[in-house]
Structure 1
Amino acid sequence: MTADSMDAPPRNTRPPVAQAALGVGVVVQDGEGRILLGRHHGGTWELPGGKVDPTHESVAAAAARELCEETGLRVAVDDVTVFAMVHDVVAGINRISMAALVRVDDAVPRVTEPDLISTWRWTAPEELPGPLFDPSAQILAVWRPDLAIEHPAAHHLPIALAPRARA
């Protein structure tokens, strides 16, 4: 053992070198089968979602938190189904987007972050506006492959069977 290795923290307590960003996108489906999309000031339409906090927060908890922070809609963590992991690479960073689904029967979203989103809109999955934010497009393509949504190449790993979309 060298003097340098004796001064270093034990391997299990050293943080890894950052090489990935972890987020969650939430497919919110209402009682009519529509999904919720927000119009970002950057010009894209996107699902509610965001980063998973590095505080031992679960993906489902992050989905419920982000949904509430962005839209004012509250759902129980137990009502969130995490159904896939989507992985791509942007500028040399692995981007991991977890795909989650929640159902709400009757909900009116609010714009709670007007510096980011100008409006929330319920949309039939077959009538998606464009352009979509890439991670949202990737998640929607995993959720409903029958829609043939254009999106950047990504790997995906099913985690759970996504509940069937409402007709």
Structure 2
Amino acid sequence: MTTDALDGSARNTRPPTAQAALGVGVIVQDGQGRVLLGRHHSGTWELPGGKVDPTYESVAAAAARELREETGLAVDESAVDVFALVHDVIGGINRISMAALVRLGSGDPEVTEPHLISAWRWTAPEELPTPLFDPSAQILAAWRPDLGLAHPPAHLLRIAADGGRG
């Protein structure tokens, strides 16, 4: 037996076989209670968000970065409330979407990625347009189950903002 086999170091440094994708969807709520949705060129409406970079980036940092990159709206990582994990499976890959909430008093989003999003729109939660991008619908339903949004089945794990310390 080698030393590596005894101390487990090889196992601790060897990357696992990839079987999941990690992203974050950001519900941006303005002072009037509206949420920000983007019209994707595919025809769906979606929340700002995207992948969490595999660079030791936190979910909150990814949410703030994606929001800035996609809309020009800048928030501090500390203003991001990560409140749930939504898990489904697409094509044999686990899709993990972290649900985040940011509250802004006001803001004028810009279309910074016109090859993806044609417009950003503030919308009352009770008047959400369709069709919604599935992960966005899942995140919005986790936030506000009372909206009765149709979405593909997903596992939901709520996250306590204070780490459950009460």
When the two structures are superposed, what TM-score results if normalisation uses the length of structure 1?
0.91
Equivalent pairs, count? 158
Q: Does 1:89 align with 2:104?
A: no
Runs of 4+ aligned residues of structure 1 deviating over 2 Å after TM superposition are none
What residue identity is the alignment partner of 1:21?
Answer: A
- Paired with 1:43 and 1:90, the residues of 2 have a C-alpha distance of 20
What residue identity is the alignment partner of 2:81?
Answer: T
Query: Paired residue for 1:164?
Result: none
Query: Paired residue for 2:45?
Result: 45
Query: Paired residue for 2:103?
Result: 103
Query: Paired residue for 2:25?
Result: 25
Q: Does 1:125 align with 2:125?
A: yes
Q: In angstroms, what is the RMSD of aligned CA positions?
A: 1.6
- The sequence identity of aligned pairs, in percent, is 77
Query: Paired residue for 2:78?
Result: 78
- Paired with 1:138 and 1:58, the residues of 2 have a C-alpha distance of 21
Deviation at 1:103, TM superposition (A): 0.5
Deviation at 1:16, TM superposition (A): 0.5
What residue identity is the alignment partner of 2:139?
Answer: I
- Paired with 2:122 and 2:136, the residues of 1 have a C-alpha distance of 15
What residue identity is the alignment partner of 1:84?
Answer: A
Task: Kindly provide the CA deviation profile for residues 15-50 of structure 1, in whole angstroms up to 9, marking residues without a partner as x.
Answer: 000000000000000000000000000110000000
Specify the SS of the correspondent of 1:122. strand
What residue identity is the alignment partner of 1:124?
Answer: A
Q: Which runs of 5+ in 2 are unaligned?
A: 162-166
- Paired with 1:10 and 1:67, the residues of 2 have a C-alpha distance of 38
Deviation at 1:13, TM superposition (A): 0.3
What residue identity is the alignment partner of 2:50?
Answer: G
Deviation at 1:160, TM superposition (A): 2.3
- Paired with 1:106 and 1:61, the residues of 2 have a C-alpha distance of 21
1:140-151 superposed matches below 5 A: 140-151=140-151
Deviation at 1:52, TM superposition (A): 0.1
- Paired with 2:131 and 2:49, the residues of 1 have a C-alpha distance of 17
Specify the SS of the correspondent of 2:64. helix
Task: Kindly provide the CA deviation profile for residues 102-143 of structure 1, in whole angstroms up to 9, marking residues without a partner as x.
Answer: 000110000000000000000000000000000000000000
- Paired with 2:145 and 2:45, the residues of 1 have a C-alpha distance of 18
